[in-house]
Amino acid sequence: MSVKNLDDLLGEGVQGRYVLVRSDLNVPLDGDRITDDGRVRAALPTIKKLADAGAKVVVTAHLGRPKGEPDPKYTLAPVAKRLSELLGAEVALAGDLVGESAKALTGGLADGGVVLLENVRFDARETSKDAVDRSELAAELGALVPGGAFVSDGFGVVHRKQASVYEVASVLPAYAGGLVLAELDVLKKLTDDVKRPYVVVLGGAKVSDKLGVIANLLTKVDRLLVGGGMAYTFLKAQGHEVGQSLLQEDQLDQVKGFLAEAEKRGVELVLPVDVLAATEFSADAEHEAVDATAIPADRQGLDIGPRSRELFAGKLADAQTVFWNGPMGVFEFEAFSGGTRAVAEALVKSDAFTVVGGGDSAAAVRQLGLPEDGFSHISTGGGASLEYLEGKELPGVTALEEKN
């Protein structure tokens, strides 16, 4: 990829210069408490490098899905607090995005200082389908940093054509941040000159979220392991009853096509052989391990069972490259976290190049207390990773390439 990067910008000198950084700080919250600060920690190196070099750093980011207007539930205040703690210096939070508070704070920013703008999605123009609206917001963001530069470092949003990701790159001199470059480098290893056997583990709730990536991966992988809620649609497509388990009836024909394509291409498609079938969806639900082909009509599968855990671990043992996206069950409930833990532990033990594809998988690794350095890479962007592996262009990356 031919783009200017953070090192190029630092080499040009940033002392006293404004730099607008698009970070991905979309962290999970419980009230105003951050339950997983992985994305904040991932954003830190780029922000710190710029601040240490004397730049006036203005950070923009989103949190959650507010409806284009301010919503206290989605304020970035908890993020500003955590960023201040990690940086060891105060990160002031503007009370708005491009209004009077933002102008006052950025205007008074000292060299090496950092300001975080309020949630960029509080402005409907950020996600507007109208490029004119998005360009207008991008111009206002650019006006906050006169004579400044733009660093795209939010890998989790580079698959979005949004004002702070795409249009702003045409307003300011644009550079790729270290996080974006690192993520793209890893993804290239999953698509170019892959070491085999190449095994992909997919989980999560819905098949429909991963249609494109499954179709594309079936042309590239040696083995595809399917768990989580999406596995029940595969089991149903094979003719098995799945009780009250999560099922996408409208995807059955598509999944039957995947099963046929896998067989035709010689891809080993592995499904659970047993599941933990529960009486209801709750943390303390009564449950038992049953054959995946014999789920009782009044029960729902909430995790892969003990034999499936052994099976999946065995199918990962000889892998040289592994990509994992999506939990094997409802890992947030302790009783149904064993399948996800089994897959994660198999990857920790593996000598393969192992990539955890962001989102719930990354959250699970941290929640289960597994060593993050036990994996080759833990992505910060689940959706962006999947779209890349699907073969789609990433607008936030394209915008950087177009500047070179």
Known binder of ligand: residue 210?
yes
Known binder of ligand: residue 159?
no
What's the half-sphere exposure (Cβ side, CA atoms, 13 Å) at 117? 33
**Distance between CA 265 and CA 221 in Å, rounded?**
10
Is 383 catalytic? The answer is yes
Known binder of ligand: residue 314?
no
**Distance between CA 177 and CA 43 in Å, rounded?**
9
Known binder of ligand: residue 83?
no
Known binder of ligand: residue 349?
no
Beta bridge partner(s), residue 340: none
Is 309 catalytic? The answer is no
Torsion angle, alpha carbons of 209, 72, 60, 86, to 10: -100
Is 359 catalytic? The answer is yes
Known binder of ligand: residue 369?
no
Known binder of ligand: residue 223?
no
Beta bridge partner(s), residue 324: 201, 356
Written as one string, the DSSP assignment of 225-239 is EE-STTHHHHHHHTT
Known binder of ligand: residue 126?
no
Selected catalytic residue, list 81, 103, 161, 206 = 206
Known binder of ligand: residue 113?
no
Selected catalytic residue, list 54, 95, 212, 383 = 383
Is 257 catalytic? The answer is no
Known binder of ligand: residue 24?
yes
Known binder of ligand: residue 121?
yes
Known binder of ligand: residue 361?
yes
Who contacts 279 (Cβ-Cβ below 8 Å, separation ≥6)? 285, 286, 287, 298, 299
**Distance between CA 119 and CA 76 in Å, rounded?**
6
**What is the DSSP-derived secondary structure letter of residue 196?**
S
Q: Which two tokens stand for residue 94?
A: 């503007």
Selected catalytic residue, list 359, 381, 382, 396 = 359
Selected catalytic residue, list 17, 39, 125, 299 = 39
**Distance between CA 49 and CA 93 in Å, rounded?**
20
Known binder of ligand: residue 287?
no
Known binder of ligand: residue 39?
yes
Q: Terminus-to-terminus CA distance in the chain, angstroms?
A: 10
Q: Is 92 exposed, middle or buried (0-12, 13-18, 19+ CB in 10 A)?
A: middle
Cite the annotated binding site for ATP by residue number.
210, 301, 332, 358-361
The binding site consists of 24-26, 39, 62-65, 121, 160, 210, 301, 332, 358-361
- For the annotated catalytic residues, the residue numbers are 39, 206, 359, 383
Binding positions for substrate are 24-26, 39, 62-65, 121, 160
Residues placed in the known binding site for (2R)-3-phosphoglycerate: 39, 121, 160
